[in-house]
Amino acid sequence: MLRTLLAGLVALLALSASLAASPSHAGPVRTGHLTAELAAATVGVAPGQEVQLVLRQDIDKGWHTYWRNSGDSGAPTELIWTLPPGWSAGDLVWAPPSRKPIGPLMNYGYSGEVLLPVTVRAPASARPGDTVTLRAKAAFLVCSDVCIPEDADLSLDLKVVAGAPAPDPVWAPRVEAALAAVPRPGQVQAVLSSGPAGLRIAATGAVIAGGTVRDAYFYPYAAGVIDHAAPQSVDRGPDGLTLTLKPAPADAAPASLTGVLSVDGKVYEIEAAAGEAPPGAGGLGPPPSAAQAAGGAGGLAGAIAFAFLGGLILNLMPCVFPVLAMKAASLAGHGHDRRAARLQGLAFLAGVMATFLALAALLLVVRAGGAAVGWGFQLQSPPVVAGLALLMLAVGLNMSGLFEIGASLQGIGAGAASRGGGLGAFLTGALAVVVAAPCTAPFMAPALGWAMTQPAALSLAVFAGLGLGFAAPFTLAALAPGLLTRLPRPGPWMDTFRKVLAFPMYGAAAWLAWVLAVQAGPDLLARLLGAGVLLAFACWLAGLAQKRSALGQPARVLGITALAIAALSVGAAVWPSPAAADASATPTSAGETSGLPYEAYTPERLAALRAEGKPVFVNYTAAWCVTCQVNERVALSTRKAAAAFETSGTVYLKADWTRRDAVIAEDLARFGRAGVPLYLAYPAGGGEPRILPQFLTPDIVARAVQDAARG
């Protein structure tokens, strides 16, 4: 009995020693912050044939590993094989990466689960029936707020079979999906050029032609060729797109760039060699031919239709009310003079169209020169805002009867705009466009965003559609005989009506003064208020001169004095103030909007918050954007919104575009917008942001931040 027990004990010890010395078997390995394993698409491999494996990483939430080019920091995953004699393994096939911003840095890598395919070949001498063990040492750099090197000793037992091996029921479809997601070459053609704006990759191909682009990004295979953290701006063309990249500091521009182009979630491998950009790629290339332009006709027709609808709705925006009030008074005064009314309607249309197209052309020229500007750019200039405020004040004083437009004041634009003739209607149309630019009505945003990515001819066609929609209501009313006959006949009521409509002009002047205060600070506001007093005094002198002239008394000196004081007031208001500009250019890091705390937006701060896995709400706004200010008060400043932000832990970032900001302009372009407002809700844990409607309610804001918190 004892002998039997001893024999059993010896056998057990021998088995234990054998198991300890035998190679490890396939299975997941926990490294600390991820789980790694090797898996095969088939249950075996035939002699002399290949088998497709994958390196699977299941990365803990809030952590990430790196792509083949890790970006500004980090290190790619490595796999070092130990194989039986005659066996060989290829390189890792890299899955499409995602951006991993960390503070001021931009890295490329993976979160969650990722499968990296790799091919292993069996030698012809492999014997069917044998089971071989494939070993690999995997090295990962796993990062969150800190980076930790982690290793895994992986192995996979693989049987050698005589015929074609059967697919693994679990891993075959997963490996196939991983291979299908790998970027493929040949689908997109790319050309590289360089200039003052940076490196430009012009990409064309049927798979990226037409439609709009919400997000496009180029991931270079080589490190050190571009500034990874710099924004990549996108110009859309009918046949593709052009990306502008900031080069890394180097003695010379690269001769070519190879990497992955991601367009709205679809990825393509491209090699961009130096050459001339094709016309259909957008950007600064030569204008497209007629055939190429026709290729984008579907997008053009839709953009024009959206622009026309947006122009119609723009008439309902608060910033346009003061100017339309002037024309309402003028139209009422000519209601029974059909010829004069038609002249007014057509002249107003001409003024609107001319100004829309002039502003659009200027915008395209400025953007072509490399400046990042968008729609409403004229109101980002404090001198322009100050001049418009004084113009609104002068028009209001004229409508209040402080002075009339006489021969001595024919050159004043405000007076001409309030006259009843064709010139007055034309200038009123021009003024309406200038003050309407800060507003972005529904349907306008996608239309203008599309227009900003097109060649000049297509862009101007979209702006023409916007102008037609904006001018249509007043022009059609002026041309409609049935409507005109219903207006009351001119009489003493007209004077009262005209004076009542002066108050919207005063309101517009006050609003512009507030915009100026936000842009340039209290010093420039004080100058504007002083200039307004001087201008009011000049208008009173002009009215006094007109009364004296009507009585046959000398009035020339008073008229000249009025013009001189008016010129002095305008000069005092619009003269640039370096001190005020410097003060306004200093951003604040945090603040509060009507009780809702916020932080100043920067790409670095957004990247840091997203790296922490926090939900983020970004408000692209401007003081001169009336829609933005309405949304601030009716939605973002409500108790319901504040409670939703607090309970969800969503961080509120405000991107203030009151003054020109190239970073914000590039962000707007990336999301297909040419102006503000734009509201983005970034989900916790990563992912693309949700774009909110242009008009907000407390419910919309609350739901958006709560959904973002859920990820």
pLDDT digit string (tens) for 323-369?
566 556 555 555 556 677 778 788 888 888 888 888 778 777 765 65
Instruction: State phi, psi for 490 to the nearest 5 degrees.
Output: -60, 145
CA–chain centroid gap for 66, Å, is: 27
Which architecture does CATH list for 587-710? 3-Layer(aba) Sandwich (3.40)
How do strand 266-274 and strand 233-236 relate by DSSP bridges? unpaired
Residue 58 DSSP one-character state: E
**Confidence at 299, pLDDT banded by 50, 70, 90:** low
d(CA 78, CA 139) in angstroms, rounded, equals: 5
pLDDT digit string (tens) for 192-230?
988 777 899 999 988 888 777 888 999 999 988 998 888
The per-residue pLDDT for 77 is 95
How do strand 147-160 and strand 44-45 relate by DSSP bridges? parallel
More confident residue, 589 or 235: 235
Token readout for 386 is 């100050």
pLDDT digit string (tens) for 599-633?
999 988 998 898 888 999 999 988 777 678 778 88
Maximum alpha-carbon separation in the chain: 145
The per-residue pLDDT for 504 is 75
The per-residue pLDDT for 369 is 54
Distances (CA, A) of 526 to 509, 513, 521, 523, 666: 14, 10, 9, 5, 33
The per-residue pLDDT for 531 is 84
The per-residue pLDDT for 79 is 95
Name the residue type at position 397: L
CATH fold label, 29-180:
Immunoglobulin-like (2.60.40)
The per-residue pLDDT for 447 is 67
Q: What b/e sequence results for 269-294 when a residue is b if at least 16 CB atoms lie within 10 Å of its CB, and e otherwise? A: bbebeeeebbbbbbbbbeebeeebbe
What integer is the mean pLDDT of 401-419? 48
**Confidence at 573, pLDDT banded by 50, 70, 90:** confident
Q: Element (H or E) spanning 621, and its range? A: strand 616-621
Which residues, including other chains, have CB under 8 Å from residue 65's CB and lie 6 or more apart?
34, 57, 59, 77, 109, 110, 114, 140, 141, 142, 143
What integer is the mean pLDDT of 118-122? 96
More confident residue, 389 or 173: 173
Question: Does 417 have pLDDT greater than 90?
Answer: no
Question: Does 375 have pLDDT greater than 60?
Answer: no
- Asked if 436 and 448 count as a contact pair (C-beta separation under 8 A), the reply is no
Residue 126 DSSP one-character state: P
What integer is the mean pLDDT of 421-437? 73
d(CA 266, CA 262) in angstroms, rounded, equals: 6
Token readout for 658 is 């009151």
- Whose tokens are 């507003």? That residue is 439
What integer is the mean pLDDT of 508-512? 78
pLDDT digit string (tens) for 240-256?
899 999 888 765 678 88
**Confidence at 435, pLDDT banded by 50, 70, 90:** low
The per-residue pLDDT for 30 is 95
d(CA 525, CA 201) in angstroms, rounded, equals: 45
**Confidence at 283, pLDDT banded by 50, 70, 90:** low
d(CA 39, CA 382) in angstroms, rounded, equals: 64
Question: Does 672 have pLDDT greater than 80?
Answer: no
Which residues, including other chains, have CB under 8 Å from residue 195's CB and lie 6 or more apart?
284
